[in-house]
Amino acid sequence: MLLSALKLDYVKYRIMTSPDGTMNKITHKITMDEAKTYMQSNVKVLLYDLSADYNIWNLSCENKCIINADGKIYTYQAPVIESHNGFLYLTIEDNLYGPKKMTITAGKKNGLITFTNYNRTSYAKNPWNTFRGSVNFVKDKIKNMKSGQYDEKYVVINELPFNDYLK
């Protein structure tokens, strides 16, 4: 009863109208089935700082990292990934690989992937350098916010379930 009254109050007092009174705040609606489908799928989030400002990524994963580099699978605790002159490089111990694209997942189910050379924290000093799901390195165009130009380079994309994104 209380929840329905709150919903009615919210709808009643939060509607924004256009000057002619014909438009409210909601501009697009989806069905409940569509919403459920979206919530069950993965979300791809561009990690802009890591894509634009970094060329070397030091990673660490819970229970080792599982690395899919152009279809070849490697397992290693702390891989180093570099991007130079339009190419991607993967360093595992003394071996150097040059894949075109790469996906990193944690070896532990629902484990975390940490960028150890990315020291971003929240205002409360909680680390924001750990990610759930998988991390993809793919070549794409990204806007350089300083110059306003688009650069083609390797970008870092975090792919994870919708519910994990909300954690």
* CA nearest to 160, candidates 119, 112, 123, 125: 112
Helix (H, G, I), strand (E, B) or coil at 64: coil
Q: Which residue has the higher pLDDT, 92 or 20?
A: 92
Question: What mean pLDDT do residues 23-39 have?
Answer: 77
Question: What mean pLDDT do residues 71-77 have?
Answer: 96
Q: How far is the C-alpha of 41 from the C-alpha of 12, rounded, in Å?
A: 33
Q: Is the dihedral of CA 51, 161, 59, 100 positive or negative?
A: negative
Q: Please state, as a whole number, how many other Cβ atoms lie within 10 Å of the Cβ of residue 71.
A: 7
Which of 65-69, 119-123, 131-135, 163-167 bottoms out in mean pLDDT, i.e. has the lowest? 163-167
Where are the chain's structural domains?
42-165
Confidence of residue 26 (pLDDT cuts 50, 70, 90): low
The predicted-structure confidence for 101-149, as pLDDT tens digits, reads as follows 999 999 998 899 999 999 888 888 888 899 999 999 999 999 988 899 9
Q: For the chain, what is the mean pLDDT?
A: 86
- Over 90: is that where the pLDDT of 34 sits? no
Position 11 scores a pLDDT of 52
Q: Which residue has the higher pLDDT, 20 or 29?
A: 29
Position 22 scores a pLDDT of 58
* CA nearest to 160, candidates 122, 120, 103: 103
Position 135 scores a pLDDT of 97
- Over 90: is that where the pLDDT of 9 sits? no
Position 91 scores a pLDDT of 94
pTM: 0.76
